[in-house]
Amino acid sequence: MLAEGMRRGERLIGMHFFNPAQRMPLVEIIRRETTAKAVLATALGFAKGTGKTAVVVRNREGFLVNRLFIPYLKEAFWLLEDGATAAEIDGAMVEFGFAMGPLALVDMAGLDILVRTDLVMARAFPRHGGISAIAAELVQQGHLGQKTASGVYRYETGDYTPRQSEVAERIIGEVRRGRAGSAGTVSSGGRIGQDEITQRLVLRMVAEGFCVLEEGIVQRRSDIDAAMVLGTGFPDFRGGVLRYAEDLGLGRVVGRLERLAERHGQRFAPCRLLRESS
């Protein structure tokens, strides 16, 4: 839209730094189909000069990193609604190799930011589905995370150690009971094991990663792996999101995603490229 109003739209390019910019090593360089090669080269040189690792992506909602990571964060709330506890969800991802679990991370970044971002993402990608009512209700009631001392967890003044929140537990319980009443089923904490938590969170990123590759948002699988390690803290010893899937075996991954799609919806459905690659 900006380029269309410019006399030389081919000179427009985007650079997406990650917060905090002085510490995060990744920058996404967003090109349009008409972006001049010299402009792209200049942006790459600037990124290198600032000590950043650059990944070139095509312009699309979420670019690359958030396209994969927002669904991961949303899935954590769906797991919470389905019966897992916050400690179980975050613990599973720390055990997998992340420095911090998704719910503690959302509390740090701000639940309101996640909810607002999802308004854009859900319109662009309807198959993603909406966000859990737990996140929406926490935001509606003003529990935005660390900045309000209350989100999924509770925080004390000057101390950002996540503590169990009675307010959040009440909201989680209300949402679970409301869904049980409408569906005729009961969701109870403790019934979702660590393996299922890990599969749903990590394979949600895998499914989206192959969609990104299929759409030509990036040109190489290695770009996705590097961006997710540098931009989200995906455990580097696992090689990246797609490398992790390849190590599992793409045939096994497709089978698991198909079963998850049957139970939880089309957000888990493997795309054509992933099916063909298996």
Instruction: Specify whether 52 is located in the same domain as 88.
Output: no
pLDDT band at 5 (very low <50, low <70, confident <90, very high): low
Nearest residue to 66 (alpha-carbon basis) of 103, 118, 3, 144: 118
Asked whether residue 24 is domain-assigned, the answer is yes
CA distance 3 to 175: 44
Instruction: Specify whether 94 is located in the same domain as 171.
Output: yes
The enclosing H or E element of 208 equals helix 194-214
Asked whether residue 188 is domain-assigned, the answer is no
Instruction: Specify whether 28 is located in the same domain as 100.
Output: no
Q: What is the pTM of this model?
A: 0.93
Asked whether residue 75 is domain-assigned, the answer is no
16: annotated active-site residue: yes
Instruction: Specify whether 228 is located in the same domain as 167.
Output: no
What is the per-residue DSSP string for 234-259? --GGGT-HHHHHHHH-HHHHHHHHHH
Instruction: Specify whether 85 is located in the same domain as 178.
Output: yes
CATH of the domain at 228: 1.10.1040.50
Q: Residue 159 has which token pair?
A: 């101390």
Segment 91-136, tens digit of pLDDT: 999 999 999 999 999 999 999 999 999 999 999 999 999 999 999 9
Nearest residue to 271 (alpha-carbon basis) of 102, 107, 125: 125
Pick the catalytic residue from 16, 128, 143, 264.
16
Instruction: Specify whether 44 is located in the same domain as 90.
Output: no
Instruction: Specify whether 97 is located in the same domain as 165.
Output: yes
What's residue 181's pLDDT? 72
In the chain, the number of structural domains is 3
Residue 197, pLDDT above cutoff 90: yes
Instruction: Specify whether 259 is located in the same domain as 204.
Output: yes
CA distance 203 to 36: 36
Instruction: Specify whether 224 is located in the same domain as 175.
Output: no
Please give the residue range of the domain that contains residue 115: 65-70+80-183
Q: Which of 2-6, 77-81, 173-177, 223-227 has the lowest mean pLDDT?
A: 2-6
